[in-house]
Amino acid sequence: MANLPISGLPTATSLDGTELLAAVQGSSTTKTTSQDIRDINTPLTASSITVGNGGIVPTIPQGATLGTLEKPFSEIFLQSGSISIESDTPGDPSAIISNKGGNLEISVGGMLLVQPGASFVAPTGSFSYLSGSFTHIGSADRVGNTTVTGSFAVSGSTVTIGNNTLEGNTILSGSVNIIGNTTIEGTTTFSDTATTVTGSFLISGSTTQIGNNTLEGNTILSGSVEINGYTPLATASISDTTITFTKVDSSTFDIDLPSAYGSFYDTTTQSGSANTAYAIKHNTTDLSSDVSIVSDTRVTMAEAGVYPIISTQQFQHTSGGTVYITGWLRKNGVDVANSATDLTLKGSGATAIFSVHYFVEAAAGDYFELIWSATDSSTEIVYQAARTSPTRPAVPSVITTVNRVG
């Protein structure tokens, strides 16, 4: 088939690279193959890759690169495909990156940010964790709403700002600062170091707390709550008759113990004219503290407070007829409204115990007097000396007791 023009040659079938072609190099005519021609037209390193059958394949494993740091590609377009990255550890599975429903899908492997200061930022949307465990090591700052369902383990310092909902088992180890509204449902364990909660804090379910706890703000604990460790609500100290409580916010309040009291009586028979007011006398102090008898009749309080005054007087009528006796209370020389009580004795030798019980409010230095009056001068408050057969003690004409209760 000599001397035919090229246009007159038959059309070649599919080339396999072994076909011989003529080539003029300088003044010589040489031969080459179609594969050699193909390699010349390929803009890749021919010694490290094989191009053919719709693919670009390195001639040896990991023997070629696609672009360099100095000369990178601007864009790579894939049509419904994926990128498979072999592990640097032999035998470990590959990480496959693909587009699934418009979302970036990383299968088999995980994602690790190792560069200092590296971050994962998404202006909108959500981060969905489908299955498995989520482990955070190191410090974490979380801003915004967070919902965690399933097991969640945090080791290290964690700062959470915003609303948080934790459902399932939650283990917090290390220092934990929670600011904002926090709802925890399920079993919660706080261990090791101190836990500080500021704001509203709602716990539903079983809670185990080990270590020091500081709760500031509204705290609602629902369900079984077990606290192991030192959880102070307030501390107390006693000085003389005062208990001082110190709360967790360092504020204090005092409770005074009832310490003012007195017991008094009189060993004389007291009498007077008809229709005349007399202050009952006490000539003997049995025991007392900050309550005293001044000028025989004035029950005087050295400390402010609320006091009950209880007094019994033994009245006797020494002549016939009927006598009407009235007793009442004076405070600082002024009659106390609605404090009077009446007693009636009939006949000579009639006796009765006149008993009164008052609750009074006193400032420091206030005094009170027990006042009596009778319609007949033959009326006495009688003292009875000690007697025999059987031996028995004397009967004071008046016995009065006072003690502070508030």
**What residues does each domain of the chain span?**
132-231, 261-403
Residue 183 contacts residue 165 (beta carbons within 8 Å): yes
Q: Report pLDDT for 355.
A: 95
Q: How many CB atoms lie within 10 A of CB 185?
A: 16
Q: Is the pLDDT of residue 38 over 80?
A: no
Check residues 273 and 25 and name the one with the higher pLDDT.
273
Which pLDDT band, with edges at 50, 70 and 90, does 28 fall under?
A: confident
> For residue 241, what is the DSSP state?
T
The alpha carbon torsion through 13, 14, 19, 25 (nearest 10 deg) reads: 100
Which pLDDT band, with edges at 50, 70 and 90, does 356 fall under?
A: very high
Paired tokens of 220: 């609602």
Mean pLDDT (the chain, rounded): 80
Q: In the predicted model, what is the mean pLDDT of residues 199-216?
A: 68
The set of residues, in sequence order, having a beta carbon less than 8 Å from that of 120 and lying 6+ positions away, is 113, 127
Q: Using CA atoms, how far apart are residues 314 and 325, in angstroms rounded to an integer?
A: 12
Q: In the predicted model, what is the mean pLDDT of residues 356-378?
A: 96
Q: In the predicted model, what is the mean pLDDT of residues 152-175?
A: 69
Peptide bond into 61 cis (omega under 30): no
The beta-carbon contacts of 63-72 under 8 Å, at least 24 apart in sequence, are none
Q: Using CA atoms, how far apart are residues 174 and 210, in angstroms rounded to an integer?
A: 11
- If you search the block for the tokens 């010694």, which residue do you land on? 47
Per cent of the chain over pLDDT 70 is 66
Q: Using CA atoms, how far apart are residues 305 and 406, in angstroms rounded to an integer?
A: 5
Q: From 3.40.1160.10, 2.40.110.10, 2.60.120.40, 1.10.3720.10, which CATH number describes the 261-403 domain?
A: 2.60.120.40
Per residue in 86-109, pLDDT tens?
777 877 888 888 887 777 777 765
> For residue 154, what is the DSSP state?
E
Q: Using CA atoms, how far apart are residues 233 and 181, in angstroms rounded to an integer?
A: 22
Q: Are strands 219-222 and 242-247 parallel, antiparallel or unpaired?
A: unpaired
Could you give the C-alpha distances from 339 to 264, 301, 342, in angstroms and in order? 21, 19, 10
Check residues 267 and 18 and name the one with the higher pLDDT.
267
Residue 48 contacts residue 58 (beta carbons within 8 Å): yes
Residue 191 contacts residue 211 (beta carbons within 8 Å): yes
Phi, psi of 6 (to 5 degrees): -60, -40
Could you give the C-alpha distances from 318 to 30, 52, 391, in angstroms and in order? 165, 143, 26
Paired tokens of 116: 């200092």
